[in-house]
Chains A and B, each alone.
Chain A
Amino acid sequence: MKINMPITNNEVVMKPNTILVTRTDLKGIITFANDAFVEISGYTREELVGSSHNVVRHPEMPSAAFEDMWRALKQNRPWQGLVKNRTKSGDFYWVNANAMPLFENNTVKGYLSVRLTPSRAEIDAANQLYRKVNAKETTLHPTGLAAARKVLSEISMGKKIAISAVLLMLPNILLLRDLIANENYPLIGAFAFSTLIACWILAHITNTTKRFFTSAVHELFRLSVNEFSPPLNLTRNDQFGDLFRGIYVAGVKLGDDIAQAKQANSNSLRIIQGLKYAECSILITNANAEIIFVNQAAEQLFLRAQQDIQNVIPHFDVQKLLGSSIDLFHSVPALQKSALDTLHDSKTSQFDLAGHTMQLTVKPVFETNGERIGYVAEWLDRTVEVKIESEIEHLVSAIKQGDLGKRIDLSDKNGFMKSLSININDLTDVIENVFTDINHIIKKLAEGDLTNSIHSDYQGIYAQCKDNMNDAIFKISEFILQIREAADFVNTSSQEMASGNNNLSNRVEQQAASLEETAASMQELSSIVVSNAQNTQNATVVVKSAAQLAEKGGEVVKSAIAAMQAINESSNRIAEIIGVIDEIAFQTNLLALNASVEAARAGEQGRGFSVVATEVRNLAQRSATAAKQSNELIQNSVQEVRSGTAFVNETGAALIEIVDSIIHVGTIVGHITTASNEQSSGINQVNQAVSQMDDITQQNAALAEEAAAGSMAMSEQSAKMTHLLNFFKVNGKSPTTHAPSSLAASKPAANTPSAAKSKKVVNAHFDEWEEF
């Protein structure tokens, strides 16, 4: 017995609803293991397939159990039991194992083992049982009495019926013997008849039951070899009918399942065929990273790279790729087990495999319940692409650095890459031509040759560049022609300027003389203004005293007005008194008249009194007359005083106006004084200005001389400029060839400040120019 060591106490619990399936040949060599089994066992499929099934045997498993299983299998019976298995790492797992023989043409060709997930209670019970068996405390099969009972209970049905019939018959036979002894024939006949009937029914039942079981078993075995239309009698009404119907339903259901499985299979077959001939290279692995699918593109990809890959992975063979582990590519980080286990989504990586640049996209495949059941890897050999990329990159970087001589080699290219390369080369040609042309033109420009232009045909920005370049050259040459003309003109002008400067110098001297005269006049003017200011100050004093006198007169007028008013008031008073006197006279008159009336009434006796009354009345009338005259006089006087007052008031107003006028005159005189002072200072400033002007005029004279000299120098410079401009070769007009250099050479005295001298020189120039 094989003992697999080591073992650990770690239990690997089977996931619910998992089915572990293996098939073995008659010797127990594994011919097939499903993914679930491979995964839980910890072995690779290569390790499992071809080796004996006992590689997963756990040492704690009693050998009696396996003996029991093999005994059952050899008898073509299925076997069922809980089994403790060992993984490669020494861990253990419990399975509910179902082993059965596989029939093919009614002969056993191998064994099928289907393992289901056991419940925890079953595991505990089995664990206990096996421990006891290992300790020899019990056996798997009953022994002794229990075994006898089992043997008895498992005797075949026919034998049991026969025994029971014999046992039934025994008392009857004894009874029959008695009856025969008693010669009771009718009873014997009846007895024999009923016994025969009973035996017949019994035999019939036995036959029927046997036939039934035989056919049921036959049909069930037929199910196991995928024949699903059991020709069973479904119309029976007894328990056999129920059993047939059960079998029938199970069979039909099984047929349906298989049809669905076939359907699913053909679906997946179509997808697999599609994948097989897809353009992209696909590898598919199961959860254990074993390659279970390689499509044609992938095969060709690896075939192309096979020789190179074998340098790195010596045993690499495309034909053996299917079924081998992805660990083959252990040098590829993205395909290492640890990387794959943590992968949850598609991941793209690029790496170098034996000189081939591979782009690999790995995506895990999940069952609907989230279980990881494999990986899809899409390969892309980007070697050629990368090569082109790098070539283009080199070319572009060369262009960036100004090296336009490089081109992409077209010999090893074809298709898209070739046309791309040709286009890039064309592009480089164009750029090179453009820069060569521009370079040539600019080089010529540097040499002063402006007669060249670009004639090549270009398009777009290059054409614009070409046109602009040609325009620029044309413009520059035009400018140079114009500058040349301007230089000639400057030369002429500078000569003229020199003579003009001399004239200027003379005039400036005249100006200086005039300025001196002006300064003298200004001095005189200044002294006049000063005396003017003095006079106005005297006038101010006079005006002030006049103002004081006028103010005094005003006060006198005011007191006169007051006196007049007093006279007026007195006159009014007198008039009032006179009025009183007049009133008294009036009243006296009235009284006298009344007295006269009374006297008249008195007649003769009143005559004397009448005379007196008349006298009184005369007095009263005289008094009234005097009062009236006095009143008139007083009124006249008052009138006079009033008009006098009016005159005096007018006088006062006139005096106030005089005072105001005098003050105004004083102010004006003050203004005149201020103005005279300002005038004086202004004249001083004018004086200063004149003297400054004098200075400036002197400087101007000097500057005019310098300017004359400068214009000579300018003339020389313009001659030099003309000479320099001759450096440029321009279309259309040959360089002017007057001799400015000789002119400049003949003017060594150009910088001398003497105006007269330079003037002569200038004149000489003029002569020469006129001759020229």
Chain B
Amino acid sequence: MKVDAVNSKQIEQFLTFELANEVYGVEILKVQEIRGWEPVRVIPNTPSFIKGVLNLRGSVIPIVDLRERFSLEHSDYTQKTVVIVLCIKHRRNESFVMGIVADAVSDVLDIKIDDIKKAPNFGTQLDTRYMRGMHVYKQNMIMLLDVDKLLNPDEVDDIEAISDIGSFE
């Protein structure tokens, strides 16, 4: 399907959202659902960027706060705060569902693949694996995220463990 889309139009749809007054984008096909913010069940003894787990129609999904993950300034959750439920690929090609907390959703953009600029190289020390590229849109620079690499493999394992426990329940 992805191949089809790339081949047919060379256009990819991205869901953009705001985080600390900056716009980020994720592939829309990775998005499973967009929800308004609701309180989560806190899981003790987890990294601070994991806010907890959410009951999504019977399945337990972990919720990650991208602000904390990206070491941005912390902000209170408002009525505009949304949870974007993503379906990501694991290293063993297994998929699992998790939610990320965004300040607000912005738009659905159709972006030509060619218009996606490569992520700048900051040197090997910096961890920028989660960046897929940058897109300039109406004087704004949208950072397009590679959702599969948003988290470290170890972190994904930990979250998966939480998720599994939730699944078993």
A597 & B36 in contact (Cβ 8 Å cutoff): no
Q: Render A579-598 as a binary contact track against B, CB cut-off 8 A, 1 for contact.
A: 00001001101100110110
In the complex, B145 has a CB within 8 A of chain A: no
- In the complex, A600 Cα to B15 Cα: how many Å? 10
Q: Which residues of A contact B151 (CB under 8 A)?
A: none
Which residues from chain B contact A589 at a C-beta distance below 8 Å?
Answer: 105
Count, chain A residues at interface, CB 8 A: 15
Nearest A residue to B5, CB-CB? A603
A600 to B35, CA, bound (A): 17
Q: List residues 122-138 of chain B with CB under 8 A from any CB of chain A.
A: none
Contact residue among A586, A594, A600, A614 (Cβ-Cβ distance under 8 Å from B79): A586
Contact B5 A594 (CB under 8 A): no
Complex Cα spacing A589 to B107, Å: 9
B80 engages A593 (CB within 8 Å): no
In angstroms, Cα B79 to Cα A583, docked, is 8
Shortest B69–chain A CB gap in Å is 22
Is A597 a contact of B15 with CB atoms below 8 Å?
Answer: yes
Residue of A with least CB distance to B13: A600
Minimum Cβ distance to chain B for residue A437 (Å): 133
CB distance from A406 to the nearest CB of B (A): 143
Residues of A within 8 A of B35 (CB): 590
Within 8 A of A (CB), among B96-114: 105, 107-108
B33 interfacial by beta-carbon distance below 8 Å: yes
With contacts A596-B28, A603-B1 taken as known, whether A590 is within 8 angstroms of B36 at the C-beta atoms is yes
B82 at the interface (CB under 8 A from A): yes
From A583, A587, A597, A617, B28 is in contact (CB under 8 Å) with A597
Check A601 for interface membership: any CB of B closer than 8 A.
yes
B108 and A596 within 8 A (CB): yes
Assess whether B161 is interfacial by the CB under 8 Å rule: no
State whether B29 touches A593 (Cβ < 8 A). no
Partner of A601, one of B29, B82, B107: B29
Select one of B4, B34, B36 contacting A603, CB under 8 A.
Answer: B4
B116 an interface residue at 8 Å Cβ cutoff?
no
A601 contacts across to B, CB distance below 8 A? 29
Q: Contact string, A600-642, partner B, CB cutoff 8 A, digits 1/0?
A: 1101000000100010010000000000000000000000000
Residue B23 lies at the interface, judged by CB distance under 8 Å to chain A: no
Determine the distance from Cα of A614 to Cα of B107 in the docked complex, in whole angstroms. Answer: 9
Per the 8 Å Cβ criterion, residues 59-110 of B in contact with A are: 79-80, 82, 105, 107-108
**Min CB distance, B108 to chain A, in Å?**
4
- Across-interface contacts of A617 in B (CB, < 8 A): 107-108
Q: How far is the CB of B87 from chain A (nearest CB, A)?
A: 11
Decide if B108 touches A586 in the complex (CB within 8 Å). Answer: no
Given contact pairs A600-B29, A603-B1, A603-B5, A614 touches B105 in the complex (Cβ within 8 A): no
| Distance to closest chain B CB from A585 (angstroms) | 11
Q: How far is the CB of A607 from chain B (nearest CB, A)?
A: 10
Interface residue B150 (Cβ < 8 Å from any Cβ of A): no
CA distance A280 to B21 in the complex (A): 159
Contact of B108 with A614 in the complex, beta carbons under 8 Å:
yes
CA distance A589 to B34 in the complex (A): 10
Given A603-B4, A603-B5, A597-B34 contact (CB < 8 Å): yes
Knowing A596-B28, A596-B108, the reply to whether A590 touches B80 (Cβ < 8 A) is no
Q: Which residues of A contact B80 (CB under 8 A)?
A: 586
A597-B34, A600-B13 known; A590-B82 Cβ under 8 A:
yes
Chain A positions within 8 Å of B29 at CB level = 600-601
A123 CB to closest chain B CB (Å) equals: 153
**Could you tell me the distance in whole angstroms from the C-beta of B99 to the nearest C-beta in chain A?**
14
Complex Cα distance A603/B13, Å?
Answer: 10
Asked whether any CB of chain A lies closer than 8 Å to the CB of B162, the reply is: no
A608 to chain B, nearest CB (A): 15
How far, in Å, is B65 (CB) from chain A's closest CB?
19
- A590 and B108 within 8 A (CB): no
**Is the beta-carbon distance between A593 and B105 smaller than 8 angstroms?**
yes
CA–CA, A593 to B79, complex, Å?
17
> For the complex, is B31 an interface residue (Cβ under 8 Å from A)?
yes
- The answer for the CA separation of A593 and B107 in the assembled complex, in Å, is 8
Chain B 5-23: CB-based contact to A (< 8 A → 1; otherwise 0): 1000000010100000000
Q: How far is the CA of A610 from the CA of B5 in the complex (A)?
A: 15
A593-B34, A594-B33 known; A600 vs B1 contact (CB < 8 Å): no
- Interface contact A594-B36, CB-CB below 8 Å: no
**How far is it, in angstroms, between the C-alpha of A587 and the C-alpha of B15 when the chains are bound?**
16
A614 closest partner in B (C-beta): B108
Contact (A600, B4) CB under 8 Å given A586-B36, A590-B35: no
Distance between Cα atoms of A600 and B28 in the complex (Å)? 7
Give CA–CA (A589, B13) in the complex, Å. 17
CA–CA, A5 and B15, complex, Å: 192
Beta-carbon contact of A593 and B36 below 8 Å: no
Beta-carbon contact of B31 and A597 below 8 Å:
yes
Give per-residue flags for A50-77: 1 if the beta carbon is below 8 A from chain B beta carbons, else 0. 0000000000000000000000000000
Q: How far is the CA of A603 from the CA of B28 in the complex (A)?
A: 11
Whole-angstrom distance between the Cβ of B28 and the nearest chain A Cβ: 4
Whole-angstrom distance between the Cβ of A617 and the nearest chain B Cβ: 8
Most buried by A among B1, B5, B13: B13
- Which residues of B, 22-45, contact A by the 8 Å Cβ criterion? 28-29, 31-36
Query: Contact between A597 and B4 (Cβ–Cβ < 8 Å)?
Result: no
Please determine whether B5 and A593 come into contact, CB atoms closer than 8 angstroms.
Answer: no
Q: Verify B33–A597 contact, CB threshold 8 A.
A: yes
In the assembled complex, how far is the CB of residue A127 from the closest CB belonging to chain B, in whole angstroms? 158
A583 to B36, CA, bound (A): 11
Q: Of A583, A587, A593, A603, which is within 8 A of B108 by CB?
A: A593
CB nearest neighbor in A for B27:
A600
**Chain B interface residues toward A at CB < 8 A:** 1, 4-5, 13, 15, 28-29, 31-36, 79-80, 82, 105, 107-108
Q: Sort A-B residue pairs by CB-CB distance and give the 6 closest, nearest first.
A: A596-B108, A600-B28, A600-B13, A597-B31, A593-B34, A590-B34
Known contacts A594-B33, A600-B108; 7 further A-B pairs (Cβ under 8 A):
A583-B79, A586-B36, A593-B15, A596-B28, A596-B108, A597-B28, A600-B28
A-B contact pairs, 11 of them (CB 8 A): A586-B80, A589-B105, A590-B82, A593-B15, A593-B108, A596-B13, A596-B28, A597-B32, A600-B29, A610-B108, A614-B108
